[in-house]
Amino acid sequence: MTPDDRAYFLRRADEEERAAEAAASLSARWRHEELAFLYRTHANGYDEPELRTQSREVIANDLIQPGDIAL
């Protein structure tokens, strides 16, 4: 990814965030927020296959397990 590509995806993320603020319905707002998140993720390089695998392992290690909850 070139710096121009990164700038494009960050600009699109900003546009989606503005669209989310102006959305007329919750479902439209959520979709715009989701797209903004995906654009930022792509711009930051987290969609690379090796990073996806690493982040899944980190998330899996940080999940609350049933035995972690005191009732």
pLDDT digit string, tens, across residues 21-59: 999 999 999 999 999 998 888 888 765 555 455 554 555
Is 19 inside any structural domain? Answer: yes
- Is 90 exceeded by the pLDDT of residue 12? yes
Contacts of 69 (CB under 8 A, 6+ apart): none
pTM of the model as a whole:
0.61
Q: Which residue has the higher pLDDT, 44 or 11?
A: 11
Spatial distance between the Cα atoms of 13 and 46, rounded to a whole number of angstroms: 15
Spatial distance between the Cα atoms of 23 and 9, rounded to a whole number of angstroms: 20
The domain total for the chain is 1
- DSSP helix/strand/coil, 45: coil
> Which structural domain, as residue segments, surrounds residue 26?
1-48
Is 11 inside any structural domain? Answer: yes
Q: Which pLDDT belongs to residue 46? A: 63
